[in-house]
Amino acid sequence: MPSNAFSPTGIKGRRTLVRPSHSTFSRTVVEKRDRTQEKYLQHQTSLDAVWNQWTGLGREPESAEVDDIMPLMQAFGSFRKTLRFIASRNDMQLVEASCKRRTSDLQVYFALNQFEKRKPYKHLDVGLQRDIKAFFGDYGAAQTTAKTLLFLIADTDAIRSACKEASEHGLGWLIEGESLHFTRL
């Protein structure tokens, strides 16, 4: 046999470590702990309350708007991290739908306020100020959006299109060129 050939003692006379076959060892399966699930379960009530508030507002709640925030801040390190944790566990499309609904409601609110004396921004409710900042950027933009919405009332093509769409969705019947008659739901 050549000197460099494999032998029971190894290559070139070195001893090799012979390992027992895997079948002689019993493997114990260690279940991996789901730390995020544990953290969620530990703070579920508070986290669900923040999520419900988030979907209700249609925007991220600010820390000042959340009751009993200290346990969440201690558990997650900051309110920002708490919101990221909540967002990772929930369907953010619900927030998007709520955002659209809330924006639409605010547009109508500001359009109706065009018929009254305009309140200064600083006299508005703090929650409304936060909504303006989140949905419109500033108070002027909210007012401009409201005026645009009011001017759409005079757009007969838009009205005709909305009436046609309503009748197609079964909300009433349309007498072309005259009116839309609503059905009771």
**Phi/psi class of residue 157: alpha, beta or left (left: φ > 0; alpha: ψ in -120 to 50)?**
alpha
Residue 122 domain flag: yes
Residue 66 domain flag: yes
Residue 115 domain flag: yes
Q: Which domain holds residue 165?
A: 155-185
**DSSP-assigned states of every residue in 107-163:** HHHHHHHTTSPPPPGGGS-HHHHHHHHHHTSSHHHHHHHHHHHHHGGG-HHHHHHHH
Q: Check whether residue 140 and residue 164 sit in a common domain.
A: no
Q: Check whether residue 145 and residue 165 sit in a common domain.
A: no
Query: Quick count: other Cβ atoms within 10 Å of Cβ 130?
Result: 18
Q: Check whether residue 72 and residue 111 sit in a common domain.
A: no
Residue 25 domain flag: no
Q: Check whether residue 148 and residue 159 sit in a common domain.
A: no
Distance CA 133, CA 28 (A): 56
Residue 143 domain flag: yes
Residue 39 domain flag: yes
Residue 11 domain flag: no
Q: Name the domain count of the chain.
A: 3
* pLDDT, averaged in runs of 10, over the chain (185 residues): 51 59 58 81 94 96 92 94 95 96 95 90 95 96 93 84 81 75 70
Residue 169 domain flag: yes
